[in-house]
């Protein structure tokens, strides 16, 4: 793992190729991290994978965190490894929270339903009529790291973060008709267990 001065050197090299891409750095609890402009995330990941002397060619983890009530609200974390040097580097892109749905521009994905608790704190199984939100978005890195395909789907499934350009962005662990994003900090806690009705119908 690069030390604090090494992290600043990496930041400086990225700035030469992608000005303004790195917003901040941190070196906390032995973890080196670059905070990156979400609009340049793929460019930075590509540079870290390809640049001589960097060559972070393995994405060991892609996950998200909800920092509510902080703003920006969501963090998408990328854990990169250089396996030859046994060196780890974390990249973090911060995203604003969901917005109320407004007019949809041509080519934009349709908004998805917002989770609302029914009586007893149980999420409904069908979306409330007309209750929608614009989800936070970031570019997919599947073309750089194929293993990100399932990890991005998991982030979408639990946090409602869209990955633009993902080849098959749909739920991966929750039922297809499930409403809401269960790892958001404002999601209702408790209620009935999730029923995977497809499996019940087809396999008893």
**Are residues 152 and 142 in contact, defined by beta-carbon separation less than 8 angstroms?**
yes
The dihedral through the CA atoms of 136, 141, 143, 148 has a sign that is negative
Q: Reading across the β-sheet that carries 31-36, which strands appear in turn? A: 22-28, 31-36, 87-95, 74-82, 58-66
Distance CA 23, CA 38 (A): 10
| Phi and psi, residue 41, nearest 5° | -60, -45
Q: Measuring CA to CA, which residue among 86, 87, 67 is closest to residue 77?
A: 67
Q: From the centroid of its chain, how far is CA 130?
A: 26
Query: Comparing 27-31, 119-123, 151-155, 170-174, which segment has the lowest mean pLDDT?
Result: 119-123
pTM: 0.80
Query: Domains along the chain?
Result: 4-189 (3.30.460.80)
Long-range contacts of 103-108 (CB under 8 A, 24+ apart): none
Instruction: Tell me the per-residue pLDDT of 59-88, one tens digit each, with 9 for 90 and over.
Output: 999 999 999 999 999 999 999 999 998 899
Better pLDDT: 128 or 98: 98
Mention every residue, 6+ apart, whose C-beta is less than 8 A from residue 95.
Answer: 38, 72, 73, 74, 75, 76, 136, 137, 138, 161
Quote the distance between the C-alpha of residue 83 and its chain's center: 24
| pLDDT above 90: percentage of residues in the chain | 63
Please give the Cα distance from 20 to 34 (Å, whole number): 12
Euclidean distance between CA atoms 32 and 65, whole angstroms: 17
Cβ-based neighbour number of residue 169 at 10 Å: 20
Question: Considering just the CA atoms, what is the radius of gyration of the chain in Å?
Answer: 19
Give the residue carrying structure tokens 């599947």. 142
What rounded mean pLDDT belongs to the chain?
84
What is the structure's pLDDT at 132?
A: 65
Higher pLDDT, 1 or 124: 1
DSSP string, 10-44: HHHHHHHHSTT-EEEEEEETTEEEEEE-GGGHHHH
């Amino acid at each position: 793992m690069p030390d604090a001065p090494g992290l600043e050197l990496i930041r400086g090299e990225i700035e030469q190729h992608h000005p303004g891409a790195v917003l901040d750095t941190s070196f906390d609890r032995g973890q080196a991290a670059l905070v990156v402009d979400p609009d340049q995330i793929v460019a930075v990941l590509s540079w870290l994978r390809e640049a001589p002397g960097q060559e972070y060619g393995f994405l060991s983890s892609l996950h998200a965190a909800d920092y509510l009530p902080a703003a920006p609200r969501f963090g998408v974390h990328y854990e990169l490894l250089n396996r030859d040097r046994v060196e780890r580097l974390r990249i973090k892109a911060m995203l604003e929270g969901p917005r109320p749905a407004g007019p949809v521009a041509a080519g934009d994905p349709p908004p998805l339903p917002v989770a609302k608790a029914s009586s007893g704190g149980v999420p409904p199984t069908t979306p409330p009529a007309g209750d929608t939100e614009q989800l936070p978005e970031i570019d997919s890195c599947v073309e750089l790291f194929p293993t990100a395909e399932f990890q991005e789907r998991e982030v979408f499934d639990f946090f409602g973060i869209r990955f633009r350009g993902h080849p098959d962005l749909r739920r991966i662990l929750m039922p297809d008709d499930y409403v809401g994003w269960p790892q958001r900090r404002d999601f209702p806690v408790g209620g009935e267990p999730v029923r995977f009705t497809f499996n019940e119908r087809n396999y008893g």
